[in-house]
């Protein structure tokens, strides 16, 4: 599987995990999420001694077969600097590298294909939070960006709106193509304890609280209901996408 295909496969596999990761508990308690189970997928998370993520292994079951993909984060001085990817029994290959600013902010995420950068995301910050994400892809004329996302935050620290922008070429102005709006509950989102770049860079992985509804151009496209145990750890999530409902179980261990 090529690097570009890897990126698409990982995004598809981990997108639902990104939404479910938002049900983490944002504290330093003993319990940590180790399993995310849906009718067709299971993600197992293991941790290093310092509680940083050591590995994410996802198994996807179709009607004909099952396949496994693995994401392995690599750290230097406590910072995530790259991720490795492996599918089935293949040896891990470089999937992405992260570039940090002097302000300890990730300003660039580069994605690899056959050992070379095939695309990258450029991140812009305002008041310490991501304000824009520009997508660059490799062309015959070098890297070009025809798409970007603009983020709106509320005072609580939640991403309430993402504007998807597009343009035909590098000389044109970006134009709005769609607007995605989010609402939240008041529960703490512990995905903040896990680098967003391990699952997908979404509001569910950036916000202080848990996403309850997702709307695209005033049309409801997703809603999420969480069930918490006595310790306020979420043990299940019911996600509704139109007529489709996906129930997810969450496994916690010390």
Domain boundaries, the chain: 3-253
**Average pLDDT in the 219-229 region?**
91
Dihedral pair phi/psi, residue 90, rounded to 5°: -75, 150
Q: Is 235's pLDDT higher than 80?
A: yes
Q: Which residues contact 18 (CB under 8 A, 6 or more apart)?
A: 191, 196, 199, 200, 202, 204, 205
Q: What is the pLDDT of residues 158-197, one digit of tens each?
A: 999 999 999 988 889 999 999 999 999 988 775 565 666 7
Chain segment 26-65, per-residue pLDDT in tens: 445 567 778 889 888 898 989 898 888 899 899 988 888 8
Distance of alpha carbon 141 from alpha carbon 114, whole angstroms:
20
Query: Facing residues of 147 across strands?
Result: 135, 166
In the DSSP assignment, the letter for residue 207 is: -
Whole-Å CA distances, 148 to 135, 139, 195: 6, 17, 21
So what's the pLDDT on residue 23? 41
DSSP-based three-state secondary structure for 201: coil
**Contact of 167 with 173, CB cutoff 8 Å:** yes
β strands within the chain, DSSP E: 32-37, 41-47, 53-61, 66-76, 79-87, 93-100, 106-113, 116-126, 129-139, 142-153, 159-166, 175-188, 209-216, 219-228, 234-241, 244-253
Q: Which residues lie below 8 Å from residue 178, measured CB to CB, with a gap of 6+? A: 163, 164, 216, 217
The two most distant CA atoms of the chain are separated, in Å, by 57
Q: Specify the fold of 3-253.
A: Porin (2.40.160)
Cross-strand partners of 70: 57, 86
Q: Quote the pLDDT of residue 190.
A: 52
What pLDDT shows up at residue 29?
A: 58
**pLDDT digits 0-9 by tens, 69-120:** 998 999 998 888 999 999 877 889 999 999 999 988 999 999 999 899 999 9
- Note the pLDDT of residue 199: 64
Q: Is the pLDDT of residue 223 over 60?
A: yes
């Amino acid at each position: 599987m090529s690097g570009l295909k890897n990126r698409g496969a990982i995004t598809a596999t981990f997108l639902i995990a990104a939404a479910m990761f938002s049900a983490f508990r944002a504290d330093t308690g003993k319990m940590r999420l180790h399993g995310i189970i849906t009718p067709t997928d299971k993600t197992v998370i293991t941790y290093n001694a310092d509680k940083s993520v050591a590995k994410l292994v996802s198994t996807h079951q179709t009607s004909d077969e099952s396949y496994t993909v693995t994401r392995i984060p690599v750290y230097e001085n406590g910072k995530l600097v790259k991720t490795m990817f492996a599918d089935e029994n293949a040896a891990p290959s470089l999937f992405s590298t992260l570039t940090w600013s002097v302000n300890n902010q990730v300003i660039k995420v580069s994605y690899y294909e056959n050992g070379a950068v095939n695309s990258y995301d450029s991140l812009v910050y305002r008041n310490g939070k991501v304000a824009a994400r520009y997508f660059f892809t490799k062309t015959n004329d070098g890297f070009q960006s025809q798409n970007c996302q603009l983020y709106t935050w509320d005072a609580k620290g939640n991403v309430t709106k993402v504007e998807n922008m597009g343009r035909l070429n590098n000389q044109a102005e970006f134009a709005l193509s769609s607007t995605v709006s989010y609402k939240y509950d008041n529960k703490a989102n512990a995905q903040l304890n896990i680098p967003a770049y391990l699952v997908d860079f979404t509001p569910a992985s950036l916000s202080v609280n848990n996403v309850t509804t997702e709307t695209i151009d005033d049309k409801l496209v997703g809603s999420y209901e969480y069930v918490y145990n006595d310790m306020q750890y979420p043990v299940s999530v019911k996600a509704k996408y139109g007529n489709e409902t996906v129930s997810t179980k969450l496994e916690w261990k010390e």
